[in-house]
Amino acid sequence: MELAYYSDYAVRLVNSEEPSRGKDALTTVEAVRDLFGVNASAARRATDADVTRFRSVRARLRGVFEAADKGDETLAVDLLNSLLLEFPVSPQISGHDFRDDDGRPVWHMHLADHPSNATAGYAAIAAMGLAFHLTEYGVDRLGLCQAPPCRNAYLDTSTNRSRRYCSDRCATRANVAAYRARKRLEADRSGSSGLAAESAQRSSATGER
């Protein structure tokens, strides 16, 4: 499986909540199972008890993104390390489901989890995927959307480390807001200049009398 696939586990879980909007999609066991995506066998292990456990892991993963967003690399790593210690995985070489043109296995690294519950399995993969992403690309590649009020997490895979928003929608919204702000500022400046000119004209006319 691809590295991005594993790190996306963390992003999906963090973004199941929008704190600034008071929204939380993680309220049922069905919502927990949906987070596993195509990993149906792992999803079937989820029970109602995992809802609360998933929320706890989500808060800790958001803490990693928040620390990275503030530029606190040490804190981001420390928080992620605590998750890795609590939810370990076993890296294994796998060739299942992938074959080359000659029918031979396409060997790749696979993160095998041995969880006591669905939360432990999901957290292990999410934390390891995020750790791979962080060490491969840098802490500054973990971001939180800069388009208020959205604070969704994202992984910056741009070539010039320029990503600032979680989606094209948020990027467009932020650009429109910035454009309108510039227009208001220009209008205010223009209005102030006009008032100043008018005041100067009145002063000049009074002086001439």
pLDDT, tens only, 144-187: 999 999 999 999 988 888 899 999 999 998 888 777 778 777 77
User: What is the average per-residue pLDDT within 77-84?
Assistant: 97
Residue type (1 letter), 31: A
Question: Which pLDDT score is estimated for 1?
Answer: 46
Q: State pLDDT tens for residues 4-50.
A: 678 999 999 999 999 888 999 999 999 999 999 887 888 999 999 99
Average pLDDT rounded to a whole number, residues 67-96: 91
Q: What is the pLDDT of residue 108?
A: 74
**% of the chain with per-residue pLDDT over 70:** 85
Q: 3-state DSSP: the chain helix, strand, coil percent, rounded to 5?
A: 60, 10, 30
Closest CA to 16 of 40, 39, 37, 32: 32
Mean pLDDT of 59-64: 98
- What is the model's pLDDT at position 200? 58
State mean pLDDT over 71-94: 92
Give me the mean pLDDT over the 60-68 stretch.
98
Backbone phi, then psi, for 109, in 5-degree steps?
-80, 135
Label residue 2 by pLDDT band (50, 70, 90): low
Q: Provide the pLDDT for residue 192.
A: 66
pLDDT over threshold 60, residue 196: no
- Evaluate whether 1 touches 91 at the Cβ level (below 8 Å): no
